[in-house]
Amino acid sequence: MHLKSLTLKGFKSFASATHLRFEPGINAVVGPNGSGKSNVVDALAWVMGEQGAKSLRGGKMEDVIFAGTAGRAPLGRAEVTLTIDNTDSALPIDYTEVSITRRMFRSGESEYEINGTKCRLLDVQELLSDSGIGREMHVIIGQGKLDSVLQAKPEDRRGFIEEAAGVLKHRKRKEKAVRK
């Protein structure tokens, strides 16, 4: 499994549709300060269901929508699509290529799609939860975040290991069942 591409439309500084293609192995995003490199990483976290504005380096969730510049009006929605190569069936879905789309409007509501079909956030989370690229984002370590991973409390460290081992999904389901 590897990330194939990312398409951003109205997400943060990416007002015009921008398509990024990735190759298997290590990919590097380079550019001057403020050119949007971290915004690309934010888009990855966001499309996979990130719910925390702070994790996305904003004050509120709507801050991910293009806010306008001197020469360009603000946009009403942000949309990101992540395409994942699933030829090794690492994701529990019967497609060799899986696209996840998240769309958000200024009202704050988000829509999710898997391969073009509307779904719930929970479906996206479950699809990714055994893949090692889940919502908890332990595989996306942003600028300045490395220290917090290294200094994690034992119980948080257990969470990282559980996610990597693919058991987090089952614990979350159990917690949900118990709450009902």
For binding to ligand ATP (CB under 6 A), which residues are involved?
12-13, 31, 33-39, 63, 65-67
| Strands 97-105 vs 77-85: parallel, antiparallel or unpaired | antiparallel
Q: Which is nearer to ligand ATP, 39 or 131 (CB)?
A: 39
CA angle in degrees (0–180, nearest 5) for 54-60-65: 105
Q: Which is nearer to ligand ATP, 31 or 116 (CB)?
A: 31
- The partner in contact with residue 47, picked from Mg ion, ligand ATP, none with C-beta cut-offs of 5 to 8 angstroms by kind, is none
34 annotated as ligand-binding: yes
Helix, coil or strand: residue 117:
strand
Which residue do the tokens 């020469």 mark? 71
Contacts of 87 (CB under 8 A, 6+ apart): 96
Q: What's the closest the beta carbon of residue 46 comes to ligand ATP, in angstroms?
A: 12
Nearest Cα neighbor of 124 from 164, 80, 160, 156 is 80
CA dist 138 and 149 (Å) reads 8
- Our finding on whether 38 is near Mg ion (CB under 5 A) is yes
37 annotated as ligand-binding: yes
Q: Which is nearer to ligand ATP, 36 or 134 (CB)?
A: 36
Q: Which is nearer to ligand ATP, 48 or 128 (CB)?
A: 48
Q: What's the closest the beta carbon of residue 121 comes to ligand ATP, in angstroms?
A: 21
35 annotated as ligand-binding: yes
Q: What's the closest the beta carbon of residue 80 comes to ligand ATP, in angstroms?
A: 13
Q: Which two tokens stand for residue 126?
A: 């479950």
Q: What's the closest the beta carbon of residue 155 comes to Mg ion, in angstroms?
A: 30
Q: Which two tokens stand for residue 45?
A: 């976290």
Residues flagged as binding site: 32-39
